[in-house]
Structure 1
Amino acid sequence: MNDELWQAIVLNDASYDGKFYYGVMTTGIFCRPSCKSRVPVRSNVRLFQNSAEALSASFRPCKRCKPDGGRLPNEEWVMQMIQVIESRFAEPLTLGKLAEIFHGSPYHLQRTFKRIQGVSPAEYLLQTRISKARELLLNTTLSVTEIALAVGIPNTSHFSTQFLSRVGCSPSLYRKNNRDLLTNGGAPNGE
């Protein structure tokens, strides 16, 4: 990519719209040069002559600048967010980070996600983390602290409090009760 095209991206130069599109490899999203999203890392940018070329390279259109001229349906947008949450639950995913990944405002992302899923992205992330913690408690010998870290909650007491409020018992008791039950041929509690 030459410096002229890079400057068009950095300066959000609308005079380059339609002349080229750029995709960000780390997010899988493509934009117009005039997009007001955060400036990507130059080495992560890939250029396209048109939106069809970006789409065929498996990039999704940005929700903010709509480079393909259309809009991604909200249900599909939320499903993409769910895929990111479920695959990256151990990372520090904030509403701001999700908004950055999906090129939308935090307010719009929150409102749309909650309308379609019935819970906020933060609550969905916590539910995913607790679900993964339950699996780890039953299927590994990791300590509660190691499990808390593995599911993205670095504070063990916060993890234990959240687990207790959602499952009804502490992580240690959950492991003990369900291992005893499984040993005797039953199904895990809460399953």
Structure 2
Amino acid sequence: MMTQDMWRAIENCDGSYDGKFFYGVRTTGIFCRPSCKSRTPLPEHVRIFASTEAAIAERFRPCKRCKPGGLKLPDEEWVDAIAAMIDNRYAEQLTLNKLAELAHASPYHMQRTFTRWKGQSPAAYLQQVRIEQAKRLLSESELPVSEIGERVGYVNAAHFATVFQRETGSQPTAYRTAMRNEIKHEGEKRT
């Protein structure tokens, strides 16, 4: 249970509370020392822990910035956590700076580490996730192409169509038609 003193310590990055408690942020799955200089989370997203072990037992990962309890998340696990964040939040306007803030690291360090482990930049990974989700929606739904673009994180329909064609070699509408024809053809083969 978070007290007012704990919340003030988190808001003020008060190092005098380090070791007395740790706080996790539900939206990122990361836990920190009270003195962590990362962006202050919303109070409703904060979970208090008495120890690093308790935070880890609840599947929270140590912050790369403040290294609570001297722990440091291995790079591969950290990158996997960033990828999972992208997988879950791809529809948001995720910039490199926003991702770095959520991952508690500098943009440069996150970009370099992510690229080393995934073989592509966070931006390229985000685009790949968005295109895969768009393909799924084009195949499985009747939503207009512009709405699909918005749902996967592209606020401009023309930009979505351009990116989709560049990545798949097909316009979204043509992709939808081809997928429906393929499904229809598969259904006819079975009967």
> Fold-level match, TM-score > 0.5?
yes
**Structure 1 letter corresponding to 2:51:** N
**For residues 92-134 of structure 1, what are the alpha-carbon distances to aligned partners after superposition, in whole Å with 9 as ceiling and x for unaligned?**
2221221122111111111111111111111111111111111
**Structure 1 letter corresponding to 2:182:** L
C-alpha distance in 2 between matches for 1:23 and 1:133: 33
Say which is worse superposed, 122-131 or 23-32, in terms of deviation.
23-32
Give 5+ residue unaligned stretches, structure 2: none
Give 5+ residue unaligned stretches, structure 1: 187-191
C-alpha distance in 1 between matches for 2:23 and 2:150: 36
CA displacement at 1:41 relative to structure 2: 2.1
CA displacement at 1:71 relative to structure 2: 1.4
Q: Quote the residue 1:78 is aligned against.
A: 79
Q: Quote the residue 1:63 is aligned against.
A: 64
C-alpha distance in 1 between matches for 2:131 and 2:52: 39
CA displacement at 1:60 relative to structure 2: 1.5
Aligned pairs (5 A) from 1:38-187: 38-185=39-186
Say which is worse superposed, 154-163 or 79-88, in terms of deviation.
79-88
C-alpha distance in 2 between matches for 1:10 and 1:147: 38
Change (3 A) 1:44 1:183: closer
CA displacement at 1:148 relative to structure 2: 0.7
8 Å contact kept, 2:28–2:85: no
C-alpha distance in 1 between matches for 2:66 and 2:176: 48
C-alpha distance in 2 between matches for 1:161 and 1:137: 15
Structure 1 length as normaliser, TM-score? Answer: 0.89
CA displacement at 1:76 relative to structure 2: 0.8
**Structure 1 letter corresponding to 2:168:** V
CA displacement at 1:72 relative to structure 2: 0.8
Change (3 A) 1:44 1:87: closer
Q: Which runs of 4+ in 1 moved over 6 A?
A: none
Classify the secondary structure of the residue corresponding to 1:22.
strand
Higher helix share: 2
Change (3 A) 1:48 1:156: same
Classify the secondary structure of the residue corresponding to 1:23.
strand
C-alpha distance in 2 between matches for 1:87 and 1:24: 16
Does 2:32 align with 1:2? no
**Aligned residue pair count:** 186
C-alpha distance in 2 between matches for 1:140 and 1:7: 47
C-alpha distance in 1 between matches for 2:129 and 2:45: 29
C-alpha distance in 2 between matches for 1:162 and 1:156: 10
C-alpha distance in 2 between matches for 1:105 and 1:88: 19
Change (3 A) 1:43 1:141: closer
Structure 2 length as normaliser, TM-score? Answer: 0.89
C-alpha distance in 2 between matches for 1:169 and 1:16: 56
